[in-house]
Amino acid sequence: MRCLFRENIPLTQHVLRILTGKYNLTITNVDTQADMKRLVGARSICLDAYGTDDDGKKYDMEVQRADKGAGAYRARYHSSAMDIDNLDAGQEFEELPETYTIFITENDIYKKGLPFYPIERVNMATGDLFGDGEHILYVNGEYRGEDEIGKLMHDFSCSDPDDMLNQDLADRTRYFKETEEGVEAVCKVMEEMRNETSVRTYIEACIDFGIKDKEEIIKKLLEKFKFLTKAQAEKYFPQ
């Protein structure tokens, strides 16, 4: 799924407009391999699609096949990772952008038959929204209503682009499945994902064994993974 949104702002924007109901939403940037890790030793996550709109709001869109991969604690971690990534030293907390963590799940994990489940913090004493700018949205991949979300979930479940209702999504899927260039692109993304997983696992192992120094870990990474450049290795240790 990550391939579909790679370097494709119009498609990302179209999908996010449907999921959020914000039909005037304008996406200005999308990154399909955003590595959210700014603290050495903290668990890193690589986002499926990470977008920014023209108001500076951030959108993390994840497609999860296993229910376990879309749990409440994971949603919390994804949301907090975006916060850490978007507030630098010296900035005020009020400068945090509004964030949307969106999990598209294969199954209806809340089993209510609804198209989506918005999650918001609430002041339990007053019943008012807390208003911290954090939004979590679970989208029911089983939903097949006649509305736009139902049609989108239908297309997300299709393996044959000829069965898809949305032409842009069908064309993008057909490109990756039926053209030599598209197949090569998918293979490249899969290789990059495997490499990223291997590198992150190795970094975590180094830290578990008591190696905390950034430069020492980078040196070991370059010895272990010949495909890495020093600049690429340093990206795993954001300032």
Q: What is the pLDDT along the chain (239 residues), one digit of tens a residue?
A: 667 787 789 999 999 999 999 999 999 999 876 766 555 566 777 788 999 999 999 999 998 877 777 899 999 999 999 998 899 889 999 999 999 999 999 999 999 999 999 999 999 999 999 999 999 999 999 999 999 999 999 999 998 999 999 988 898 889 888 888 877 876 776 777 778 778 878 888 888 888 888 889 889 889 988 888 888 888 777 65
Local structure of 201: helix, strand or coil: helix
The last residue of one of the domains, among 178, 196, 216, is: 178
The last residue of one of the domains, among 178, 208, 230, is: 178
12 domain residue, yes or no: yes
Handedness of CA 3, 97, 133, 149 (dihedral sign): negative
Let me know whether 9 and 103 are in one domain. Answer: yes
Token representation of residue 38: 């700014």
pLDDT score for 204: 82
171 domain residue, yes or no: yes
pLDDT score for 48: 84
Let me know whether 67 and 142 are in one domain. Answer: yes
As to burial, measured by CB atoms within 10 angstroms (0-12 exposed, 13-18 middle, 19+ buried), residue 119 is middle
Pairing relationship of beta strands 134-140 and 116-119 according to DSSP bridges: antiparallel
Let me know whether 145 and 37 are in one domain. Answer: yes
Q: Are 168 and 11 in contact (CB under 8 A)?
A: yes
Let me know whether 174 and 192 are in one domain. Answer: no
pLDDT score for 90: 92
Let me know whether 145 and 196 are in one domain. Answer: no
pLDDT score for 2: 67
233: domain range? 188-239
Let me know whether 114 and 62 are in one domain. Answer: yes
pLDDT score for 144: 96
Let me know whether 224 and 148 are in one domain. Answer: no
122 domain residue, yes or no: yes
HSE toward the beta carbon, residue 62, CA cutoff 13 A: 25
Let me know whether 106 and 195 are in one domain. Answer: no
Question: Which of 55, 54, 56, 63 minimizes the C-alpha distance to 19?
Answer: 63
Let me know whether 105 and 34 are in one domain. Answer: yes
106 domain residue, yes or no: yes
Number of domains observed in the structure of the chain: 2
Q: What is each CA distance from 21 to 116, 137, 147, in whole angstroms?
A: 11, 12, 12
pLDDT score for 238: 62
Let me know whether 41 and 157 are in one domain. Answer: yes
Angstrom distance (rounded) from CA 2 to CA 185: 11
pLDDT score for 38: 58
Let me know whether 51 and 164 are in one domain. Answer: yes
Let me know whether 169 and 85 are in one domain. Answer: yes
Local structure of 29: helix, strand or coil: strand
183 domain residue, yes or no: no
